[in-house]
Amino acid sequence: MIRQLVPARTQGAGIRTGLRWKLSAAIALVGALVAIALSLVVHNAARVSMLDNARDLADERVQIAQRNYEQSGRPNFYFPNIKIDDSSLPPALREKVRDGRRATFVSDRRRGGPDIWAAVPVKDGHVLSLHTGFTDRSTDILNDLDQALVIGSIAVVLGGSALGVLIGGQLSRRLRKAAAAANQVAKGESDVRVRDAIGGVVRDETDDLASAVDAMADTLQERLEAERRVTADIAHELRTPVTGLLTAAELLPPGRPTELVLDRAKAMRTLVEDVLEVARLDGASERAELQDIVLGEFVARRVAAKDPDVEVRVVHESMVTTDPRRLERVLFNLLANAARHGKPPIQVTVEGRVIRVRDHGPGFPGDLLAEGPSRFRTGSADRAGRGHGLGLTIAAGQARVLGARLTFRNVRPAGAPEHIPSEGAVAVLWLPEHAPTNTGSYPTMP
């Protein structure tokens, strides 16, 4: 059995829309958390330092007042906020001074800055104390520091976001290029290499991914080519004995046994020819021999010669450049599939560059609609019939050589759920607007 590459079903938007911005948001969030933490640490350290300086200054002033008072015996102070036996002295500070120690104290106020107290006992038993607040200048310094920290934090967040966008964008571009190259490989372009597609001098994990994909593609291509050669060789070797068998069967005397032998020999010859054709299509060596034809007239003439009972309707005539032999092969395979697995009437509609072949049978099986035609699979029980499942496979391969697109769908009543039986099957061949220029790619038939 020949394996074939399956078209990649990607969700490219996930990478395109998420990676760059997720990386940028992560860097910005980390930067913001670090900036906030550092700002709090710097703010608290500056505040503690200013409070310590304010306490040291209050302590120096109260010592100067103590020396003046003890030398002169009078409350002749340079600083107006020094008092003797101040009744509003905080109890905690009063306790320390009562033990004969000089001390400072900071008390927080609900509004404004903290209060700074300094007190010292003198020789006559009185207590000198100084009461001052956190100066406006210190408050302004803290406010300026907070403003600078906020500006710095915003700059860090913006810079981190820009860096994240830059790094994420570069990584995202490399991944998009790798995904595009992998899709090309999946579509049969065996000369494409993911490592060459991402390019650049950056060496990171994407290079390892690209190398792994390239190695996998090379290995798979070698296996597919080996299987294709084996299949082609087997089919080619079978042609001679099958031809001899058919010739010998034709020499038998007339009768029912001879008819059965001839019928089976012809079926075997058809199978061998179909397998050879599939192998040639797999080999990516087929090229279309292009001609200009009037599509509607061409289809009507060929169908009338093949099966006069098939209804042909030309909605809109069009001149196309295609390979008539291959187009006829696709058309006849679709008609044969409709006749074998569907029910009459069979209708062919030509509208511009689009050819539709419809039957009124049970419709295509779900796996064919989901995955496309597959060789040696004849469909569901409702659509069973003779054959080896190669007709639609060959039709899809020949359509690829023509640069056309072949799609399959079932006809259902409008709004009918999936469990309602279909009213027929429709195969649609979309011929390209321009003549194919590169038709040797590996077909993506499952």
Q: pLDDT tens across 302-337, in order? A: 888 888 888 889 998 889 888 898 898 889 888 988
Helix (H) or strand (E) holding 143: helix 136-186
Q: CB neighbours of 197 closer than 8 A, spacing ≥ 6?
A: 177, 178, 180, 181, 210
Distance (Å, whole) CA 389 – CA 278: 11
Name the percent of the chain lying above pLDDT 70. 77
User: Which pLDDT belongs to residue 79?
Assistant: 65
- Higher pLDDT: 310 or 182? It is 310
Highest mean pLDDT pick, 131-140, 353-362, 374-383: 353-362
Helix (H) or strand (E) holding 237: helix 205-250
User: Which pLDDT belongs to residue 16?
Assistant: 45
Distance (Å, whole) CA 140 – CA 145: 8
pLDDT of 416 above 80:
no
pTM, two decimal places: 0.51
pLDDT of 93 above 80:
yes
pLDDT of 230 above 80:
no
The residue-averaged pLDDT of 323-352 equals 88
Q: What is the pLDDT confidence band of residue 357, given thresholds at 50, 70 and 90? A: very high
Residue 237, token pair as written in the block:
């070797």
Residue 245, token pair as written in the block:
């068998």
Cβ atoms of residues 104 and 116 within 8 Å: yes
Q: What is the pLDDT confidence band of residue 212, given thresholds at 50, 70 and 90? A: confident
Helix (H) or strand (E) holding 107: strand 103-107
User: Which pLDDT belongs to residue 18?
Assistant: 64
**Coil, helix or strand for 358?**
strand
Residue 231 CB coordination number (10 Å)? 17
The residue-averaged pLDDT of 232-237 equals 68
The residue-averaged pLDDT of 225-246 equals 72
Cβ atoms of residues 126 and 118 within 8 Å: no
- Higher pLDDT: 48 or 109? It is 48
Residue ranges and CATH numbers for the domains of the chain are 215-282 (1.10.287.130), 291-430 (3.30.565.10)
Mean pLDDT of the chain: 76
Cβ atoms of residues 150 and 51 within 8 Å: no
Ramachandran category for residue 363: left, alpha or beta (phi over 0 → left; psi -120 to 50 → alpha): left
The residue-averaged pLDDT of 343-359 equals 90
* Phi, psi dihedral angles at 293 (to 5 degrees): -135, 155
**Coil, helix or strand for 342?**
coil
Q: What is the pLDDT confidence band of residue 283, given thresholds at 50, 70 and 90? A: low
pLDDT of 446 above 50:
no
Closest CA to 154 of 242, 32, 271, 259: 32
The residue-averaged pLDDT of 233-248 equals 74
The residue-averaged pLDDT of 219-235 equals 71
Q: CB neighbours of 177 closer than 8 A, spacing ≥ 6?
A: 197, 198, 199
Minimum mean pLDDT range among 162-176, 195-209, 253-267, 340-354: 195-209
Give the sign of the dihedral formed by CA 92, CA 93, CA 98, CA 100. Answer: positive
Q: Which stretches of 231-338 are assigned E, i.e. beta strand? A: 291-294, 311-316, 319-322
